[in-house]
Amino acid sequence: MMEFFSQIFNNVLNFIKNYQWFTDTLDIFLVAFTIYWLFKLIRDSRAEQLLKGFALLGLAYGIAYLFGLTAIKYLLQILFDNALIVLVVIFQPELRRALEQVGHSGFGRFRILGMNEEDTQEYITKWKTAIAAVCAGVDMVKREKMGALIVFEQGTRLGEIAKSGTELNADPTGELIANIFFNKAPLHDGATIIRDGKVYAAGCILPLSDNVSISRSLGTRHRAGVGMSENSDAIVVIVSEETGTISLAKGGELIRDFTPESLRIELENDIVWSNVKSDNEKEDGGRFTWFRRWFSK
């Protein structure tokens, strides 16, 4: 017994002696953060169920190995030998979303850094005008009991999605937005994309979400909006044709029951003011603070 504890003690001493406090700690932290980020990515998604299935297969392999079930063990061994390829094929949507998030994470929020005051004012005015037009159009659509699907393009470019519709590249107005979604209009059955403060395209086809947690009472329009927000950093406004409910999809989540005014505030916070951080305000002498106070009046 003493030899056992002595061996453990020696192993601990060797570990402490050989431990590189900076590099090893950084390495452990990065691995832990990566695992946490992966679990956060797959939580409440189809990938979570698939991982549970793989865990059950691993348990089955252990039982087959323990009881000498040669055939089952052989089949599972083939599966696990090609696990990397299987995972890439099965988790292709989740991996694509993860890579897109890595690509635009941390960069979209600093798009207006480096601009002078005139450029910053133009940026804010352009987006506030577009948001106000969309909210006015949404209000008209809601009152006329029509549906709408409007995508605000952010860091992820949606050129392929825009090609599925008709390019407009028009200045946004409430009347234009409402006319696009008029029941008998040729472009009403699809999504409208807002790019750089303009109505870039209409009648576009969006990818549908595979999220099983979305209520069955919600139709294709809502699934398309959530799917678009899952596959990009776009923010999607959805108006239900049946109930007139205004919803917002972002980051794969659906937020419901907006009014036109609360929608305007939410969109401005997500698209305009999320690019203006307090640290940036300090570094730039408070000019962003001045702009925010002036344009919020």
CATH 3.90.650.10 fits 115-295, yes or no: no
Residue among 222, 237, 206 at smallest CA distance from 133: 237
CA angle 272, 278, 284 (to 5 degrees): 90
Q: For residue 287, count other CB atoms closer than 10 A to its CB.
A: 16
> Do the beta carbons of residue 235 and residue 152 sit within 8 Å?
yes
Q: pLDDT tens track of the chain, all 297 residues?
A: 677 777 887 887 887 778 788 888 888 899 998 888 777 666 655 566 677 787 888 899 889 888 888 888 888 888 888 877 877 776 776 676 666 666 555 444 445 555 556 677 888 899 999 999 999 999 999 999 999 999 999 888 888 899 999 999 999 999 999 999 998 888 988 999 999 999 999 999 999 988 877 888 888 999 999 999 988 889 999 999 999 999 999 988 999 999 999 999 999 999 988 765 533 444 444 444 444 444 444
Domain coordinates in residue numbering, the chain: 2-104, 115-295
Please tell me the pTM assigned to this model: 0.64
